[in-house]
Amino acid sequence: MQCQSIEELQLLVNKAKKYTDQGKVADYIPALKMANPDSLSIALYYPDGNCYSAGDVSENLTLQSISKVISLALALMDWGEDYVFDHVGQEPTGDPFNSIAKLEISKPSKPLNPMINAGALAVTHMIKGESVEERFQRLLTLIQKLANNSSIGYSREIARSEFETADLNRSLCYFLKQHGIINEEVEQLIDLYTRQCSIEMNCLDLSRIGCVLAFDGKDPLTEVQLIPANIARICKTFMVTCGMYNASGEFAIKVGIPAKSGVSGGILGTVPGRCGIGVYGPALDEKGNSVAGIQLLKMMSEKYMLSMF
Amino acid sequence: MQCQSIEELQLLVNKAKKYTDQGKVADYIPALKMANPDSLSIALYYPDGNCYSAGDVSENLTLQSISKVISLALALMDWGEDYVFDHVGQEPTGDPFNSIAKLEISKPSKPLNPMINAGALAVTHMIKGESVEERFQRLLTLIQKLANNSSIGYSREIARSEFETADLNRSLCYFLKQHGIINEEVEQLIDLYTRQCSIEMNCLDLSRIGCVLAFDGKDPLTEVQLIPANIARICKTFMVTCGMYNASGEFAIKVGIPAKSGVSGGILGTVPGRCGIGVYGPALDEKGNSVAGIQLLKMMSEKYMLSMF
Amino acid sequence: MQCQSIEELQLLVNKAKKYTDQGKVADYIPALKMANPDSLSIALYYPDGNCYSAGDVSENLTLQSISKVISLALALMDWGEDYVFDHVGQEPTGDPFNSIAKLEISKPSKPLNPMINAGALAVTHMIKGESVEERFQRLLTLIQKLANNSSIGYSREIARSEFETADLNRSLCYFLKQHGIINEEVEQLIDLYTRQCSIEMNCLDLSRIGCVLAFDGKDPLTEVQLIPANIARICKTFMVTCGMYNASGEFAIKVGIPAKSGVSGGILGTVPGRCGIGVYGPALDEKGNSVAGIQLLKMMSEKYMLSMF
Amino acid sequence: MQCQSIEELQLLVNKAKKYTDQGKVADYIPALKMANPDSLSIALYYPDGNCYSAGDVSENLTLQSISKVISLALALMDWGEDYVFDHVGQEPTGDPFNSIAKLEISKPSKPLNPMINAGALAVTHMIKGESVEERFQRLLTLIQKLANNSSIGYSREIARSEFETADLNRSLCYFLKQHGIINEEVEQLIDLYTRQCSIEMNCLDLSRIGCVLAFDGKDPLTEVQLIPANIARICKTFMVTCGMYNASGEFAIKVGIPAKSGVSGGILGTVPGRCGIGVYGPALDEKGNSVAGIQLLKMMSEKYMLSMF
């Protein structure tokens, strides 16, 4: 079952939009506060190049935690599965994304998975390159290819804002450094990580990335294998088990689409073998997920039978 | 890609069997200690009724934690999704299956999910019926129908052995009772729960249950809807996010099949839209999963491309 | 510096009494709800037999957690220091008195100290005797001797009420049983423990017990050594480090008197080498301590220089 | 009961010295590794100026965690009790001194007490002064006065070594910064804190400081009130409830002297109204306390009846 028309999609967006007033725009990063809480846009991208979208698709969002999926793919391409999972675990956790407590209680002290902040910092640390600049460019280039859009860049303003308020991430980094999980300068890693989080695109770009993942890392139009198939599958698995913060379990039941959200209000969705999805709705629920975005995906999952379960 | 012959399957079993000596038979329940650590058997059940098996398929196993999937299905059929998930959460957890700490730290104090012991006890509490006997018979009848085998019963000896050593589960129950999650006599609930865990079958029966789940709760031969489709999907989702204790994340990556294991060494697998799988290998790894069973499923997932990711 | 007159004491009580409306009577045990929240009484007992009191000294209170001090003394007399502290720790904890989480995270799983519920249950378990009745009588007899009042008994009504609502303590007991810290029937231990908590006296009796402890276990009038000196000192140490729940540190700073409180609103105080103190004020603060009682002890500590620091 | 001769003390040291081989010199700070594990020295300082010592009293030690007592006194003198305890708690904790988990779980996120690292960092942050240099000099001057030794300085080498390996403390600082407990540059605070930890003296100096605390902050010889009496009492209280890491409870029972240890192997002891004690024995037990030092204090407490309980 496939979306047939933009009108159809627009109807769903209209329905979901009324949930925006149940959420709040993220305010812990000053630059994110300026987002319009009423926004809601979506794009569906099919392997034949067909794309349906609704809402103001031109609005840009920063990737924030969505970037964790791609940095994981790159680290896996750089180092292989064994090395990466020696430094970060594979298990979901019931703790919040920014928790440090479990790091201490677990032995060995490696982060539970790459989707919580501690794990994502350990992953970004593994991106190869001579300098922050080179490492960032390697990640950005991969993202540009996945979205087939070489104009994608990052917001210097948001990166700076996040860099200045990243004390909890610095705390996590020094903890990881103490335990030998990372061994670079913390400020340098925070610089790289906040740039990564500030990469900017719209929901159309997101949907193209989702489509490549849906087809096991191969661009369905060009047939170029941008990410090895087994790595694309690993990414999708983490999206199911821990992509939506500590609402991942409920999302898997209610929606059933591998997805990763960010506090900017973006959601990257990927329906294996079918299509990619990009959502932008900056009003967040208390778990940090786009409140209207989740409702929209739920409606779509039911209408188009997108659940993989 | 489908299994073509018993010989093919036997080859895989032979390969996986050498991992049995890396595990140990569960010893915390006296009656489980008597299992043969070298055993390994598997059955694959296809919707057309074809069944391939290898190893000593006649060996019986008790369901143990595997039963949590079916008791969840029954509670959902009895009470509906909203009520059940008001009493037990939907999120995976990085804690061990018998943990009590998170119950205390989380507010409200409801168990994180139905696959950890605290959650499974809350679920079994919800099975409707006038008496322990009636509630147990309702669960057993459902299981007999799913396996299409009315001779399935339970081991009184193992149930008694578990009842006598269930102090940690009693501790969990009284904690749940204190917090209003359960309100029946603890000894009565432990009686029902230990009987449920002691339901006995072989891996062939398991594979038939897996096949019904694979086809959204409908028996593919009789076309009878034994479990409503949305409930079957919920069960499969939990099998992915928390079916293999706190190795669920790694299993999803390495194998990618919704599965639920028990400390008896059984694994129930379900490949959506394709087939059901039953495994029995009592030698366990330190997480409590069948060590050779996991290796076998990994080989099969690669050979027959069974991963859903 | 010593209290000179009842009038002096009455003035302090009047001052402290206005704090009663900042607290609430315990309501988790139904029978405790009936206490008068405005009550406040105190008795000071000196080794020469002089006693000053103010407020309605005839009002009875049940010991509740105050009993933990005497059951510890008895267990130490029964088994000696090494055995007892093999089963319960000696360290204060920042966790609430009824916490179970630390039991799980700590290895070995022994309760952190005898003043939290888990530890007190382990201690009561160690009281020697052929039956619950005999063990209870041994404890009661010791308490009667310490208070020099053979009419002290226990409230059957409150014991029953507590027995019926002791699910959290049952949860702790089964956890301890699972880990080999206790090995008797849980219901039997809960029976003994709830009777112990329900032993009834007034603040005058409390002050006599405090005076014996202040003189290292020797009754200052009869010169009989009721508790060995080293055991009396151990009791006073725990009263300082963990006698006032998780406000013990603040109490040590602000008041500096070894003391143990109970949710009935009683406080047993002992000023080493000087006097015993009994307080009763059932309105509790959010930590579970008598809100006016603490204010009264603070004023007295300043006025009579009672702090041991 | 008072020490009568150096010979008497030497005998106790000889007895305690054989425990040194049960411990290990701290190795997590490179510069501390060079200490002689067999060393054991002690000094007792009485208010009349009499001093008894045994062992190699000329050996220097760095204060490490012992400094937490004096920085707390200074912060209290700078800001008063209310302000300081708005930023750091007063409760002992069962967690290790360098734990971060409780910070996260507790609400509000203030450190549990000033003797764990998180709390000590918050306290040092409160020392007033225009610069790190000025703040450090204010602390050093107070310490020189307390020890009546203006030649006391700090080890630049050890300070540097600690600064370079302070990643866990940096992690704690950033966590505290995130939660508004501290608001200065982390590197600056770590600079001040590692200098504070590296202040160098011998056990004779320590015993003089202990004697001033024993007499409520007044130098018994000069009669100058170096620390206000109520602040000196607060310091002694924390030394009892949390001065010996998470062996404080056991130490209070076995020894009963307000004391603070450091990972250098030093122990500052203060017997209220009687004398000060300084110990140096770098071989540590697994809790981080001088293994022979504790044995020595235990023997002395019994021989001279030094326990305050």
A208, A46 in Cβ contact below 8 A? no
What is the CATH class of D6-62+202-304?
alpha beta
The predicted structure's pLDDT at residue A103 = 67
- Diameter over CA atoms, chain A: 55
Catalytic residue positions of B, numbered: 65, 68, 193, 245, 263
pLDDT, position A30? 77
The pLDDT of residue B101 is: 65
> B6-64+201-304 has which CATH code?
3.40.710.10
Q: Give the integer Cα–Cα distance in Å for D63 and D198.
A: 6
Question: What is the three-class DSSP state of B21?
Answer: helix
Q: What local confidence, expressed as pLDDT, does residue B201 receive?
A: 98
B94–A contact, CB cutoff 8 A:
yes
- Using a CB-CB cut-off of 8 Å, the residues of chain D touching C250 are 85, 90-91
pLDDT higher than 90, residue A100 = no
The radius of gyration of chain D's CA atoms, rounded to the nearest angstrom, is 18
pLDDT at residue D104, rounded to an integer = 63
Cα–Cα distance measured from residue B182 to residue B176, given in angstroms and rounded to the nearest whole number: 6
| Residues in contact with B252: Cβ distance below 8 Å, sequence separation at least 6, in sequence order | A237, A240, A241, B240, B241, B309
Q: A237-241, B122-126, C25-29: lowest mean pLDDT where?
A: C25-29
Whether A175 contacts A11, CB under 8 Å: no
pLDDT of residue B103: 67
Note the pLDDT of residue A305.
Answer: 93
- Nearest to D63, CA basis, from D189, D166, D212, D193: D193
What local confidence, expressed as pLDDT, does residue A264 receive? 96
Indicate the helix (H) or strand (E) that contains C141.
Answer: helix C132-147
Q: What is the nearest CA distance from B172 to chain C, expressed in angstroms?
A: 6
**DSSP bridge pairs for A279:** A42, A267
| Range D112-127 burial, b when 16+ CB lie within 10 A, else e | bbbbbbbbbbbbbbbb
Q: Nearest Cα to A276, choosing from A55, A94, A42?
A: A42
CB atoms under 10 Å from CB of A41, counted, come to 22
Residue A54: pLDDT over 70: yes
**Angle CA C54–C59–C60, to nearest 5:** 130
Cβ within 8 Å, pair C272-D308: yes
pTM: 0.94
Angle at D214 between CA D213 and CA D217, to 5 degrees: 40
CA distance A12 to C235: 69
Q: Which helix (H) or strand (E) holds C267?
A: strand C266-271
The residue from C193, C264, C271, C290 that is catalytic is C193
Read off the pLDDT band of B28 (50, 70, 90).
Answer: confident
Can you give the pLDDT of all 309 residues of chain D as single tens digits?
A: 777 788 999 999 999 999 999 999 998 777 788 899 999 999 999 999 999 999 989 999 999 999 999 999 999 999 999 999 999 999 987 666 666 666 666 666 789 899 999 999 999 999 999 999 999 999 999 999 999 999 999 999 999 999 999 999 999 999 999 999 999 999 999 999 999 999 999 999 999 999 999 999 999 999 999 999 999 999 999 999 999 988 999 999 999 999 999 999 999 999 999 999 999 999 999 999 999 999 999 999 999 999 999
Q: For residue C248, list chain D residues with Cβ-Cβ distance below 8 A.
A: 91-92, 241
List the single residue in D90, D94, D308 with the smallest CB-CB distance to C91: D94
Cα C295 to Cα C303: distance, rounded to the nearest angstrom: 12
Encoded tokens for B43: 């059955």
Whole-number Å distance between alpha carbons of C297 and C56: 17
Whether C239 shows a pLDDT value over 90: the answer reads yes
Strands B61-62 and D153-154: unpaired
| E-strand stretches of D222-307 | 259-261, 266-271, 275-280, 283-284
Residue B115: both structure tokens together: 């696959």
> Mutation test of the interface with chain B: which of A86, A91, A93, A305, choosing the one with the most B Cβ atoms within 10 A?
A91
Distances (CA, A) of A101 to A95, B108, C96: 9, 19, 18
Residue D105, pLDDT score: 60
Count of alpha carbons within 13 Å of B304, Cβ hemisphere only?
22
Biggest distance spanned by C-alpha atoms of chain B: 55
Active site residues per annotation of D: 65, 68, 193, 245, 263
State yes or no: B271 annotated in a binding site: no
B156: number of Cβ within 10 Å: 10
State whether residue B175 sits within 8 Å of chain C by CB.
yes
In this structure, the number of other CB atoms found within 10 A of the CB of residue C86 comes to: 12
CA dihedral in degrees (C186, C192, C193, C195; nearest 10)? 140
Mean pLDDT of C272-284: 97
Render pLDDT for A134-178 as a digit per residue (tens, 0 to 9).
999 999 999 999 999 999 999 999 999 999 999 999 999 999 999
- Scanning D25-178, the segments in alpha helix (DSSP H) are 67-79, 81-87, 101-105, 117-125, 132-147, 156-164, 167-178
Task: Give the separation between CA D144 and CA D200, rounded to whole angstroms.
Answer: 11
The pLDDT assigned to B56 comes to 87
Distance CA A27, CA A165 (A): 11
* Closest listed residue to residue B90, CA positions, set A293, A256, A116, A22: A256
Looking at the predicted structure, is the pLDDT value of residue B27 above 90?
no
Domain topology for D65-197: Probable Glutaminase Ybgj; Chain: A, domain 2 (1.10.1500)
Q: Which residue has the tokens 């009693």?
A: B170
Query: For A30, which DSSP code?
Result: G
List chain B domain ranges. 6-64+201-304, 65-197
**Tens-digit pLDDT profile for residues C35-70:** 999 999 999 999 999 999 999 899 999 999 999 999
Q: A263 catalytic, yes or no?
A: yes
Q: Of C276, C273, C274, whose CA–CA distance to C260 is shortest?
A: C276
Report the complex ipTM. Answer: 0.93
D246 annotated to a ligand binding site: no
Q: Decide: A181 and A87 in contact? Cβ < 8 Å.
A: yes
Q: Indicate the SS3 state at residue D106.
A: coil
What is the model's pLDDT at position C28? 76
Residues of chain D with Cβ-Cβ distance to C272 below 8 Å are: 308-309
Q: Chains B and C: how many Cβ contacts under 8 Å?
A: 49
CB C6 within 8 A of CB C21: no
The pLDDT of residue B246: 85
Query: Which residue on chain A is closest to D106 by alpha carbon?
Result: A101
In chain B, residues with a C-beta closer than 8 Å to the C-beta of C177 are 167
- Distance, CA of A35 to CA of A264 (rounded, Å): 8
Distance CA D217, CA D251 (A): 23
B261 beta partners? B267
Whether pLDDT at C101 is above 90:
no
pLDDT top residue among A107 and D189: D189
Candidates A90, A234, A252; nearest CB to B241: A252
Q: Is D174 annotated as a binding residue?
A: no
> Is residue B169 marked as binding?
yes
Separation CA B100–CA B102 (nearest Å): 6
d(CA D162, CA B201): 62
Known binder of ligand: residue A91? no
- Does B146 score more than 90 pLDDT? yes
pLDDT, tens digit, for every residue of A73-93? 999 999 999 999 999 999 987
Q: Rounded to whole angstroms, how far apart are CA atoms B281 and C213? A: 61
What radius of gyration do chain B's Cα atoms show? Answer: 18
CA distance A152 to A144: 6
The radius of gyration computed from the CA coordinates of chain C, to the nearest angstrom, equals: 18
Helix and strand counts by DSSP (H, E) for chain D = 13, 10
How much is the pLDDT for A4?
A: 79
Q: pLDDT class for B33, splitting at 50, 70, 90? A: confident
Q: Which residues in A34-158 belong to E strands, given as ranges?
A: 41-45, 51-54, 61-62
End-to-end CA distance of chain D: 16
Average pLDDT score, chain B: 94
CATH superfamily of domain region C6-61+202-220+232-304: DD-peptidase/beta-lactamase superfamily (3.40.710.10)
Q: Do A249 and B241 touch (CB under 8 A)?
A: yes
Quote the pLDDT of residue C105: 60
Say how far apart CA A211 and CA B176 lie, in whole Å: 44
pLDDT at A27: 85
The residue of chain B nearest to residue C102, with distances taken between CA atoms, is B101
Note the pLDDT tens digit of each residue in A256-270: 999 999 999 999 999
Counting Cα atoms < 13 Å in the Cβ hemisphere of D155 gives 19
List of chain C residues whose C-beta atoms are within 8 Å of the C-beta of residue D93: 92-94
Name the helix (H) or strand (E) containing B201: strand B199-201
Q: Is A174 marked as binding a ligand? A: no
pLDDT band of B256, cuts 50, 70, 90:
very high
Residues D130, D134, D139, D144, CA torsion sign:
negative
Locate D231 and state its tokens.
């602040």
Tens of pLDDT, residue by residue over B100-111, are 666 666 666 789
Residue matched to tokens 């006995």: B200
> How many Cα neighbours within 13 Å face the side chain of B32?
26
Find out whether A245 and A92 touch, Cβ atoms under 8 Å: no
For domain A6-61+202-304, the CATH superfamily is DD-peptidase/beta-lactamase superfamily (3.40.710.10)
Nearest residue of chain B to residue A103 (CA atoms): B94
What are the distances in angstroms from CA D148 to CA D78, D235, D269? 21, 19, 17
A92–B95: do the CB atoms touch at under 8 Å?
A: no
Helix count and strand count (H, E) for chain B: 13, 10
The pLDDT value recorded for residue D103 is 66
Q: CA-CA distance, D276 to D258, in Å (whole number)?
A: 10
Q: Which residue in this structure is represented by tokens 């999302």?
A: A251
Q: Return the residue matching tokens 């204190």.
A: B178
Contacts of D among chains (3+ CB pairs under 8 A): A, C
Query: Which of D101, D104, D174 is the closest to A174 by Cβ?
Result: D174
Residue of A nearest to D164 (CA): A178
DSSP-assigned letter for residue C227:
S
Model confidence at C270, in pLDDT bands (50, 70, 90)?
very high
List chain A residues with CB under 8 Å of D167.
174-175, 177-178
Active site residue C193: yes
Of B91-100, B260-269, C194-203, which gets the smallest average pLDDT? B91-100
Average pLDDT, chain A: 94
Lowest-confidence pick of A131-140, C24-33, C189-198, D190-199: C24-33
